[in-house]
Amino acid sequence: MSEQTDSPKIGKALATQSPWVMIAVLLHVVVIAIASIMYYAHEAQFDDSTPGEIRVSAPSQQLEEIEPPAIVDREEVPKLKDQDIVPSDMTELNPDAVDDPEQGDPTDPNATSDLTNLPSGDTTGGSAIGVNGPGHHGIAPSAVGGRRPGGGKYGSRFGRGNGPGGAGGRVNEAITAGLEWLRKHQDEDGRWDAAGFMKHDKEGDPCTGPGLAVHDVGITGLALLAFLGEGNTLKLGTYRQQVRKGVKWLLEQQGENGLIGTTASQAFAYSHAIATVALCEAYGLSEHRPYKVHAQNAVNYIANARNPYGVWRYQPREPDGDTSITGWMVQALLSAQAFDLAVDESALKTAMVFFEGVTDPGTGAAGYTKAGQGSSRPVGMQDRFPANKTESLTGVVLLCRYLMHQEPKEVPIMMKSADTILSKPPVWNEKDGSIDMYYWYYASYAMYQIGGKHWDTWSKKLTAAALKTQKTTGNDKGSWDPVDAWGEEGGRVYATATMILCLEAYFRYGKVSFGR
């Protein structure tokens, strides 16, 4: 049978015997045909070759031109939340700015702010040169301290002490009263007038206890350190106005060679060193970059004034040195180092060699220019204030050892020094010549570092001597009488600032030997 005759039969058989197959085939044919028609109709719509058809494309969208990022001047003063820091003037801060009321006023007896009612107790100390980086233990006070909660770049320093002699409400009140007295007796130009501060007493009996005008730079530096120690900076704190004005005045006294003040006084090196510590702290704690060059110049003067083969004395580059002025110079260099200023490391190493040389190996007592020598006294004061009543130089050396990261377990003589200091604790006795605020300042910070029974015993004696003798009435309220060996030199401003600093030993610096 041929292929042609078989095909109709096959189709007929499928139609009669399997109609569902035929239906399925026909449906597929129809669906394919419809899909083909739709596809070609769609393609024809967009066929650019279609005769007689002109298509206009949509206009292209203009891309926004992106400007390259601006070059940032990293030395420019940034826009700060605290807008009364004037960036247009690179050396000035606005002294007329209104304090932030959220900071609280510790002098208001009706204040309810939590900032004035924090409990006492130890908290983490911190500083810029902590042994494990910022926020750990070190020597430079932190950007947030005193009663103010929180912690800044340099950690926190408001541990108020626990246990016997621990600082608490009464010590805080004494510090605040002292700062208030300093505030009321600051001149409008920012300085503290050692000789004429009583001109601010407009009513009632004026304060007594003038000092010498040649010490205004050093006295202003001490007052600033008292404010800075309580947590005030150029930007923060109830007393930030006083800090701003005081630092501004110090800068106005700085010469091209970096010296703050003049050489009119024999003790001008002391004044410069104290002012440099205050300037470095104000610059570093406030992070106010325009003051960096001024702080560095002050540090450079210290470097140039040192005997290249030794330490410091009253005059630049003197062949011999003394423990007292060297102690202040070392504090200034360490404060500068804490805030990343350039410091000659060899100066610190040489100072340590000097301290070793003036220390008695048997007792740990330090001498003035050599071992076994007593503390110096102003002319005519030797009998009234016997050198054997004080261990001020032992305090200087012991504190400096700590600040340069020595520890008793590695340097056993440090405990001998601490025992010697503890044998002459603070006692306010105006008859026997034992009052020595300068000694109490250094020894308080050194004994705080020692801790334990040494600090407990010392702090109880210090608290008793300070709180019982602070003035409570009249224009003297909050101050201390200048009745130690240096009282006639520095006057009431010196005495008050120094006693405040003594009380701030409870919290000003962290423990420098922890975490090593």
Instruction: Read off the pLDDT of residues 294-309 as tens digits, 9 standing for 90 and up.
Output: 999 999 999 999 998 9
Q: Which of 258, 263, 271, 404 is nearest to 330 (CA)?
A: 404
Report residue 121's pLDDT band, with 50, 70 and 90 as the boundaries. very low
pLDDT tens for residues 416-437?
A: 999 999 999 999 999 999 999 9
pLDDT at 380: 87
Q: For position 21, what pLDDT does the model report?
A: 57
Q: How buried is residue 35: exposed, middle or buried, by Cβ count under 10 Å (0-12/13-18/19+)?
A: exposed
Pick from 410, 406, 416, 376: nearest CA to 393: 376
Whole-number pLDDT of residue 103:
41
Other CB atoms within 10 A of residue 252 CB? 12
Identify the burial level of 200 via C-beta atoms within 10 angstroms of its C-beta, where 0-12 means exposed, 13-18 middle and 19 or more buried.
middle
Longest dimension (CA), the chain: 153
In which band, very low, low, confident or very high, does the pLDDT at 379 lie, cut at 50, 70 and 90? confident
What pLDDT, on the 0 to 100 scale, is given for residue 17? 57
Residues whose CB falls within 8 Å of the CB of residue 193, separated by 6 or more in sequence, listed in order = 185, 187, 199, 213, 216, 493
Q: Which letter does DSSP use for residue 138 in this model?
A: -
Q: What angle do CA 147, 150, 152 make, to 5 degrees?
A: 110
Q: What is the pLDDT of residue 70?
A: 41
Range from 106-110, 224-228, 374-378, 441-445 carrying the lowest mean pLDDT: 106-110
Residue 114 has pLDDT above 80, yes or no: no
**Residue 133 pLDDT exceeds 80:** no
Neighbours of 384 (CB within 10 A): 11
Q: Which residues pair with 254 in a beta bridge?
A: 260
Task: Provide the residue type at 46 as one letter.
Answer: F
What is the rounded distance in angstroms from the CA atom of residue 242 to the CA atom of residue 249?
Answer: 11
DSSP character at residue 333: H
The two three-digit tokens of residue 388, written as one number: 């054997």
Classify 115 as helix, strand or coil. Answer: helix
pLDDT at 112 (0 to 100):
37
Residue 1, pLDDT above cutoff 70: no
Q: For the residues 356-377, what does the mean pLDDT come to?
A: 95
How far the first Cα of the chain sits from its last, in Å, is 111
Closest among 279, 278, 272, 304 to 294, alpha carbons compared: 279
pLDDT in the model for residue 392: 97
Specify whether the CB–CB gap between 248 and 271 falls below 8 A. no
Whole-number pLDDT of residue 147: 36
Separation CA 248–CA 286 (nearest Å): 14
What is the predicted pLDDT for the residue at 130? Answer: 28
Cβ-contact 456, 165 below 8 angstroms? yes
- On the question of pLDDT at 261 being above 90, the answer is yes
Higher-confidence position of 383 and 496: 496
Neighbours of 460 (CB within 10 A): 16
Distance CA 458, CA 164 (A): 10
Task: Quote the percentage of the chain above a pLDDT of 70.
Answer: 67
**Angstrom distance (rounded) from CA 92 to CA 86:** 7
Alpha-carbon span 265 to 285, nearest angstrom: 30
Which amino acid makes up residue 125? G
Residue 212, classified by CB atoms within 10 Å of its CB into exposed (0-12), middle (13-18) or buried (19+), is middle
SS3 195: coil
Instruction: Quote the pLDDT of residue 18.
Output: 56
For residue 265, pLDDT beyond 50: yes
Mean pLDDT of the residues in the chain? 78
Instruction: Extract the tokens encoding 291.
Output: 């003051």
As a whole number of angstroms, the distance between CA 387 and CA 375 comes to: 5
415: number of Cβ within 10 Å = 15
The pLDDT score that the predictor gives to residue 199 is: 98
| Residue bearing the bigger pLDDT, 213 or 62 | 213
Is residue 224 pLDDT above 70, yes or no? yes
381 and 428 Cβ atoms separated by less than 8 Å: no
Domains and CATH numbers, the chain: 123-506 (1.50.10.20)
Instruction: Identify which of 392, 386, 385, 368 has the alpha carbon closest to the alpha carbon of residue 484.
Output: 385
Does the pLDDT of residue 405 top 80, yes or no?
Answer: yes
pLDDT at 260 over 70: yes
pLDDT at 486: 95
Q: Give residue 488's pLDDT.
A: 96
pTM of the model: 0.73
Count the alpha carbons within 13 Å of 495 in the hemisphere toward its beta carbon. 28
Q: Which residue has the higher pLDDT, 210 or 21?
A: 210
Name beta bridge partners: 260.
Answer: 254
Tell me the residue type at 198: M
Give the pLDDT mean for 168-190.
Answer: 96
Per mean pLDDT, which range of 12-16, 20-24, 89-93, 254-258 is the poorest? 89-93
SS3 call for 152: strand
